[in-house]
Structure 1
Amino acid sequence: MDRKIVVKICGMKESTNIASLLQLPVDYIGLIFYEKSLRFAGNVDPQIFAQHTIRKVGVFVNQPIEDVLERQLDFQLDVIQLHGQEPPSYCAALKDKGFTVWKAFGVNTEFDFTKLDEYGDVVDCFLFDTQTPAHGGSGNTFDWGLLNHYTGQLPYLLSGGIGLHNLEAALEQKDTRLIGLDLNSKLEIAPGIKDIDLVHKALKIIHHEQISSR
């Protein structure tokens, strides 16, 4: 792999756990502001990030734009990730305000990749996850071969059941549009609580693969 793959650790919700993660070379931290999620970050104090440069991703699911703007202001979010059925007009409204917008899609064998065409000008990046009724966090991996049907130019992050057991396979993907990995449930002790040792091991695998393949 001759490109840098960014690492996003998503679904953090507990302050001590977040403080430990902030000591590691992680590019993005994902905070889920969807109340039905087991990883809802509603009790996180934004001040925990005051002395850190990690980029913060707020994850939202079909929520009023006013709610998104409030969280963005409170946490100074670097990225707004939309994980529901938000239409292109919703994404455009956020883009027009100057925000970086990622749009997540759950992929399965029935997924229609042509629907991505209308998002090409209103988001900065896609995130491809495993299709679930709960909008992610299933710990299941989808068939990455399905991404051969993606014909657009926008970069994307790969998500869904990525852990130590399949990290190297993820890093071996040849698609140059793949710019990052979204890691969540496979590195957890419990929903929203990451095993910091597992995260450290995952980062070692990722950074070793990036160095050794140059």
Structure 2
Amino acid sequence: MTKKLKIKVCGMREASNIEALTALPIDYIGFIFYAKSSRFVSDIPIYNIPNHIKKVGVFVNTTLDEIKKKVKEFDLQVVQLHGDESPELCKHVSELGIETLKAFGIDDDFEWKTISDYENTVDYFLFDTKSKAYGGTGQSFNWEKLRENPYNKPYLLSGGISIDNIKEAATFKDERLYGLDLNSKFEIQPAIKNIDLLTQALSIIK
């Protein structure tokens, strides 16, 4: 690999699991504030997350006021918008001075022009597998579709990344690939990560 990819582990909830995770060499830890998710959190457990790991709040079709409230309450460094948010909302979030990600569900029929208005409103794109449930499928999409992406915006790759395909994901040839988003394929149950499996995965790509 020519560059070090950022690693985001998303969907955390339990204090002891968070403590074990933050001992690993990761860059982002994600908390899902979407009530319909099996990894939903209403509160982040009180635990001193190291400063080098950025706390990410994941939101789906919520209001700017609610996002601002959570950012302040939990000292979030990053907001991930994972629903049908408008470019205007993305811009307002970015103007809070917080790192902003916008997720898009990808399938073979995805039209790249549909995200053109977002290019200048967020810091990063996040490409996930298309789902009616706004993520959480545990399935990967055809990564070759990313070669049609006409935008220079750096992105995180998400959706079905597992111990079996993480090397392939990490060596995907695209200078815009900024990081990998790890979630359901590294779980014992929803919101509880398998630390041994994550350790193994990190040893493959680091």
Q: TM-score category by the smaller chain?
A: over 0.9
- Compute the displacement of 1:44 (Å): 2.2
Q: Which residue of 2 aligns with 1:8?
A: 8
Pick closer, same or farther for the CA change 1:101–1:51 going to 2, 3 Å. closer
Deviations 1:42-74 (A, max 9, x none): 2322x3135543111110000011111111011
1:175: Cα distance to partner?
A: 0.3
Q: Any idea what SS the aligned residue of 1:49 has?
A: coil
Moved over 6 A (4+): none
Q: Which deviates more, 49-58 or 186-195?
A: 49-58
> How much has 1:197 moved relative to structure 2?
0.4
Partner amino acid for 2:9? Answer: I
Q: Counterparts of 2:134 and 2:182 in 1: how far apart (Å)?
A: 15
Instruction: Identify the residue that residue 20 of structure 2 maps to in structure 1.
Output: 20
**Structure 2 unaligned residues grouped into runs of 5+:** none
Aligned residues: percent identity?
46
Counterpart-to-counterpart distance in 2, 1:86 and 1:73: 20
Q: Which amino acid aligns with 1:202?
A: A
Q: Deviations over 1:61-105 (max 9, x none)?
A: 000111111110111111100000001000111112212110000
Q: Kindly report the root-mean-square deviation, in angstroms, between the aligned alpha carbons of the 2 structures.
A: 1.1
Q: Aligned partners of 1:85, 1:25: CA distance in 2, in Å?
A: 32
In the alignment, the residues of structure 2 paired with residue 80 and residue 49 of structure 1 have an alpha-carbon distance, to the nearest angstrom, of 19
Q: Which residue of 2 aligns with 1:43?
A: 43
Q: CA–CA distance in 1 between the matches of 2:186 and 2:93?
A: 31
Give SS of 2:40's match. coil
The SS at the match of 1:48 is: coil
Question: Is the 2:22–2:50 contact (alpha carbons within 8 Å) kept by the matching residues of 1?
Answer: no
In the alignment, the residues of structure 2 paired with residue 121 and residue 54 of structure 1 have an alpha-carbon distance, to the nearest angstrom, of 25
Q: Secondary structure at 1:123's aligned position in 2?
A: coil
Aligned position for 2:144: 145
Contact kept, 8 Å, 2:5 with 2:178, in 1: the verdict is yes
Secondary structure of 2:91's counterpart equals helix
State the distance in 2 between where 1:21 and 1:59 align: 18
Write the deviation string for residues 159-202 of structure 1: whole angstroms up to 9, x where unpaired. Answer: 00001100111112110000100000000000110001011111
Within 1, Cα distance between the matches of 2:89 and 2:43? 26
Show the counterpart of 1:117: 116
1: distance between equivalents of 2:171 and 2:94? 32
What is the CA–CA distance in structure 2 between the aligned matches of 1:161 and 1:202, rounded to whole Å? 14
Q: Secondary structure at the match of 1:164?
A: coil
The aligned runs of 1:54-93 (5 Å cut-off) are 54-93=53-92
Tell me if the contact between 1:30 and 1:56 (Cα under 8 Å) persists in the aligned partners: yes
Partner of 2:131: 132
Letter in 1 for 2:71: Q
Residue matched to 1:102: 101
Aligned to 2:185: 186
Tell me if structure 1 keeps the 8 A contact 2:9–2:183. Answer: yes
Equivalent pairs, count:
206
Amino acid in the other structure paired with 1:49 = N
Distance 2:50 2:178 in 1: 26
TM-score (norm 2): 0.97
Report if aligned partners of 2:77, 2:98 keep a CA contact under 8 Å in 1: yes
The one-letter amino acid paired with 2:40 is: F
Q: Is the 8 A contact 2:126 2:158 kept in 1?
A: yes
